[in-house]
Amino acid sequence: MKMTGSQIFLKCLEREGVKHIFGFPGGVVLDIYDELTRAPFIKHILVRHEQGAAHAADGYARASGKVGVCLVTSGPGATNTVSGIASAYMDSIPIVVFTGQVPTPLIGNDAFQEVDIVGITRPCTKHNYLVKDVKDLARIIHEAFHIARTGRPGPVLVDLPKDVVQGVTTPKFPEQIRIKSYNPNYHANPKQIKKALELILKAQRPVIYAGGGVILSKASEELTKFAEALQIPVTTTLMGLGGFPAPHSLWLGMLGMHGTYYANMSVHHCDVLIAVGSRFDDRVTGKIEEFAPHAKIIHIDIDPTSISKNVVVDIPIVGDCQDALSQLNALAAEHLPRELSQAHRAWLAQIDQWKKEHPLTYDRNSGDLKPQFVVEKLYELTQGNAIISTEVGQNQMWAAQFYPIRHPNRWLSSGGLGCMGYGFPAALGAQVACPDDIVIDIAGDGSIQMNIQELATAVEYDLPVKVAILNNGYLGMVRQWQQLFYERRYSFTPMVSPDFVKLAEAYGALGLRAEKPSEVEAVIREALNTRKPVLMDFRVAPEECVLPMVPAGAPMHKMLLT
Partner 1 sequence: MRHVISVSVDNEPGVLSRVTGLFSGRGFNIESLCVAPTIDPDVSHITLVTTGNEMIIEQIIKQLRKLINVIKVVDLTATEHVEREMALVKVKAEDRQRAEVLRIADIFRCRVVDVSPASYTLEITGTTEKLNAVLGLLKTIGIQEVVRSGSLAIQRSRKD
Nearer to partner 1, 212 or 408 (CB): 212
User: Are the beta carbons of 155 and 148 closer than 8 angstroms?
Assistant: yes
Nearer to partner 1, 183 or 353 (CB): 183
> Does position 282 bind partner 1 by CB under 8 A?
no
Q: Which amino acid is at 77?
A: G
Nearer to partner 1, 179 or 346 (CB): 179
- CA distances (Å), 16 to each of 41, 133, 258, in order? 12, 21, 40
Nearer to partner 1, 149 or 479 (CB): 149
> Does position 177 bind partner 1 by CB under 8 A?
no
# of chain residues touching partner 1 (CB under 8 A): 18
Site for partner 1 in 144-173 (CB under 8 A): 147
- Contact with partner 1 (CB under 8 A) among 37, 170, 176, 181: 181
Quote the Cα angle for 286-287-290, to 5°.
115
User: Are the beta carbons of 306 and 281 closer than 8 angstroms?
Assistant: no
Give the SS3 label for residue 404. Answer: coil
In whole angstroms, give the CA distance from residue 447 to residue 504: 16
In whole angstroms, give the CA distance from residue 539 to residue 266: 36
Output the smallest distance, CB 253 to partner 1, in A: 31
Output the smallest distance, CB 146 to partner 1, in A: 11
Write out the E strands in 102-189: 127-130, 156-161, 168-169
- Contact with partner 1 (CB under 8 A) among 126, 299, 355, 479: 126
322: annotated active-site residue: no
- Contact with partner 1 (CB under 8 A) among 178, 180, 191, 489: 180
162: annotated active-site residue: yes
**Long-range CB pairs of 557-560, under 8 A, 24+ apart, other chains included:** 557/264, 557/265, 557/268, 557/269, 558/286, 559/261, 559/264, 560/484
How many other CB atoms are there within 10 angstroms of residue 348's CB atom?
A: 16
22: annotated active-site residue: no
> Does position 185 bind partner 1 by CB under 8 A?
no
Which residue is catalytic, options 11, 126, 162, 466?
Answer: 162
> Does position 279 bind partner 1 by CB under 8 A?
no
Which residue is catalytic, options 19, 43, 66, 113?
Answer: 113
477: annotated active-site residue: yes
In whole angstroms, give the CA distance from residue 541 to residue 480: 13
> Does position 303 bind partner 1 by CB under 8 A?
yes
Which residue is catalytic, options 16, 35, 50, 454?
Answer: 50
Which residue is catalytic, options 41, 112, 173, 485?
Answer: 112
- Contact with partner 1 (CB under 8 A) among 283, 309, 406, 407: 309
Which strands make up the sheet holding 95-101, listed edge to edge?
43-46, 20-24, 68-72, 95-101, 156-161, 127-130
Quote the Cα angle for 366-369-371, to 5°.
110
Write out the E strands in 255-361: 272-276, 296-301, 315-318
50: annotated active-site residue: yes
- Contact with partner 1 (CB under 8 A) among 37, 170, 249, 305: 305
Binding mask 102-121 for partner 1 (x = CB under 8 A): ----------------xx--
In whole angstroms, give the CA distance from residue 458 to residue 478: 29
Which residue is catalytic, options 397, 450, 477, 536?
Answer: 477
Is the bond leading into 337 cis (omega within 30 degrees of zero)? yes
> Does position 553 bind partner 1 by CB under 8 A?
no
Output the smallest distance, CB 127 to partner 1, in A: 4
Q: List residues binding partner 1 (CB under 8 A).
A: 118-119, 122-123, 126-127, 130, 147, 179-182, 303-305, 308-309, 312
- Which residues are annotated as catalytic? 50, 112-113, 162, 477
